[in-house]
């Protein structure tokens, strides 16, 4: 197993660039700090993460519906929610190096002065070089329409959650949902982070996967416990190693004033434990705040008990980029493999993705580019694609190298068409990424065998 040394992250970032998972944004212009583009394989990976979340949170449930709200909303939304007044981090400036730091990140940040290169910024504070902390609002501001004045100021949303609260009545009235029920949304959010970093872990533009679960007030604790377990389990079901995942309950002094409980699902990254997702009890704060702000009644009338109440909210809030990076880091491995015939050993880089998360599920190869093998291989490709299985065709290079290339991008299964397929018993080879074992099966069994393998896959 690849050791979680500091340079492990560098090797993963390098693989991401080399194989087309993640690129520095605007790289041809020298790049832009903390902005990333997802390449061909990264786009598939991220799509699979979102599909797995949507499937678990919306498609397979009767009590949750989906939503896709606008990024730019009425500016009053952010005043009512408290973001205009309070969505800020405390910022300090170093008088010597002119660096600007988040006050709560000083331990992890280094002074920018050449003379002090690498020394923790907190030492600058101890030496009195830092200014007094001041609040810095993280929302990106822009203007809607042709006139740039204070009346046209709008914000890029810093979370997807508020679009759900502002649509609470619309959803209740149009879908006849009644508490306990949830509304789920996936979409871009923007925060002008002071200290972005650790690859796509903290960026200024990112995607969130959030669900607001509206419950009768006396059911809040029960649903909170349910969602902490369910969300933790979702990462395990999708292949994350249990020894690198933990739940961390927030201490009282970490909680927002309206929150009575929050648990983070954390992952042990090469740079230490970090938040992957937060599950919070938000009480009736958001609906009450918007009711006050817009002057509309956002309570719910329960026909059965003939009572009216403002639902409480339990919110599992995950980051899509952070989840994709976690699946990548968790899947990454460097293994020593020995060729049985030659006795030679080499390091194989492999991503042990769950087949649901892997950018490519099956790669199909003709052993050589002739003798009817490409045609037989294409038949299998078509059948798998018709069944909705992400399939890649490759006929270039030695077969061993083709296997290694697929190991490196995490393709769980490779199918090879050879002479036996076109001139012998018609069978093809199925190679398993994790065990590197091979078996021969009839081409007519390919779809069923692949489906069975995907279903039965377990992290070794
Ligand atoms: N509605 C609640 C909310 O937004 P949050 O803890 O601020 O809570 C939820 O964000 C999740 O969004 C985080 O657990 C993280 O996965 C992701 N996230 C937050 N800020 C991020 C950033 N700057 N870059 C990447 N992901 C981020």
Note the pLDDT tens digit of each residue in 351-385: 999 999 999 999 999 999 888 999 999 999 999 99
CATH, range 360-456: 3.40.50.800
CA of 449 to the centre of ligand 1 (A): 39
Question: Of ligand 1's atoms, which has the minimum distance to the CA of residue 201?
Answer: 25
Residue 103 has pLDDT above 90, yes or no: no
219: tokens are: 């059911």
Task: Note the pTM of the prediction, 2 decimals.
Answer: 0.93
Question: Of ligand 1's atoms, which has the minimum distance to the CA of residue 323?
Answer: 16
278: tokens are: 């937060």
- Helices and strands of the chain, counted as H and E runs: 14, 23
Residue 127 has pLDDT above 90, yes or no: no
Pocket of ligand 1 (CB under 6 A): 159, 161, 191, 193, 202-203, 206, 208, 210, 275-278, 317-319, 321-322
Q: State the pLDDT at residue 5.
A: 64
> Span 392-396, mean pLDDT?
96
Nearest CA to 399 out of 360, 352, 351, 436 is that of 436
> Span 188-196, mean pLDDT?
92
254: tokens are: 């970490």
d(CA 428, CA 419): 9
Residue 254 has pLDDT above 80, yes or no: yes
| Atom 22 of ligand 1: nearest residue by CA position | 202
- Is residue 6 very low, low, confident or very high in pLDDT (cuts 50, 70, 90)? low
CATH 2.40.50.140 fits 6-81+138-327, yes or no: no
| Atom 8 of ligand 1: nearest residue by CA position | 317
Q: State the pLDDT at residue 194.
A: 86
CA Rg value for the chain: 26
Q: State the pLDDT at residue 129.
A: 87
| Atom 7 of ligand 1: nearest residue by CA position | 159
Q: Which of 160, 278, 326, 329 for a ligand 1 pocket mutation test, highest count of atoms within 8 Å of Cβ?
A: 278
Question: Of ligand 1's atoms, which has the minimum distance to the CA of residue 191?
Answer: 23
d(CA 48, CA 41): 11
CA of 315 to the centre of ligand 1 (A): 12
| Atom 6 of ligand 1: nearest residue by CA position | 278
Question: Of ligand 1's atoms, which has the minimum distance to the CA of residue 193?
Answer: 23
CATH 3.30.930.10 segments of the chain:
6-81+138-327
Residue 349 has pLDDT above 90, yes or no: yes
d(CA 57, CA 64): 7
Residue 177 has pLDDT above 70, yes or no: yes
d(CA 239, CA 98): 44
Residue 3 has pLDDT above 70, yes or no: no
Backbone angles phi, psi at 342, to 5 degrees: -90, -20
């Amino acid at each position: 197993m690849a050791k979680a040394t500091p340079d492990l992250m560098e090797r993963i970032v390098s693989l991401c660039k080399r194989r087309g998972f993640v690129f520095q944004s605007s790289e041809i212009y020298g790049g832009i700090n903390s902005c990333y583009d997802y390449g061909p394989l990264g786009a598939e990976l991220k799509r699979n993460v979102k599909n797995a979340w949507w499937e678990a949170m919306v498609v397979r449930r009767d009590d949750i519906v989906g939503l896709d709200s606008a990024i730019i909303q009425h500016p009053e939304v952010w005043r009512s929610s408290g973001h205009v007044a309070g969505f800020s981090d405390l910022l300090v400036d170093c008088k010597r190096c002119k660096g600007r730091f988040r006050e709560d990140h000083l331990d992890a940040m280094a002074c920018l002065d050449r003379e002090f290169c690498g020394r923790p910024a907190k030492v600058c504070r101890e030496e009195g070089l830092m200014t007094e902390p001041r609040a810095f609002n993280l929302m990106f501001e822009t203007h809607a329409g042709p006139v740039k004045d204070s009346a046209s100021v709008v914000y890029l949303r810093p979370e997807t959650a508020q679009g759900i609260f502002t649509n609470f009545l619309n959803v209740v009235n149009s879908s006849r949902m009644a508490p306990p029920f949830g509304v789920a949304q996936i979409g871009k959010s923007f925060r002008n982070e002071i200290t972005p970093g650790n690859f796509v872990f903290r960026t200024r533009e990112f995607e969130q996967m959030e669900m607001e679960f509206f419950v009768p007030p006396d059911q809040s604790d029960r649903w909170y416990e349910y969602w902490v377990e369910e969300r933790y389990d979702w990462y395990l079901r999708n292949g994350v190693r249990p020894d690198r995942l933990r739940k961390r309950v927030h201490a009282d002094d970490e909680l927002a004033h309206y929150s009575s409980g929050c648990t983070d699902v954390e992952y042990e990254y090469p740079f230490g434990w970090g938040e992957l997702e937060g599950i919070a009890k938000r009480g009736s704060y958001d609906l009450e705040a918007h009711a006050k702000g817009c002057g509309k009644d956002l309570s719910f009338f329960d026909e059965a008990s003939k009572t009216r109440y403002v639902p409480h909210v339990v919110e599992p809030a995950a980051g899509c980029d952070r989840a994709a990076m976690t699946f990548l880091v968790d899947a990454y491995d460097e293994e020593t493999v020995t060729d049985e015939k030659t006795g030679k050993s080499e390091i194989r880089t492999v991503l042990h993705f769950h087949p649901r998360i892997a950018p490519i599920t099956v790669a199909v190869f003709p052993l050589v580019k002739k003798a009817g093998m490409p045609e037989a291989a294409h038949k299998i490709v078509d059948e798998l694609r018709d069944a909705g299985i992400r399939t890649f065709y490759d006929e270039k290079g030695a077969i061993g190298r083709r296997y290694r290339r697929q190991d490196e991008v995490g393709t769980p299964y490779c199918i090879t068409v050879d002479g036996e397929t076109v001139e012998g018993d018609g069978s093809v080879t199925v190679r398993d990424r994790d065990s590197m074992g091979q078996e021969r099966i009839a081409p007519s069994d390919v779809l069923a065998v692949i489906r069975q393998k995907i279903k039965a896959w377990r992290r070794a």
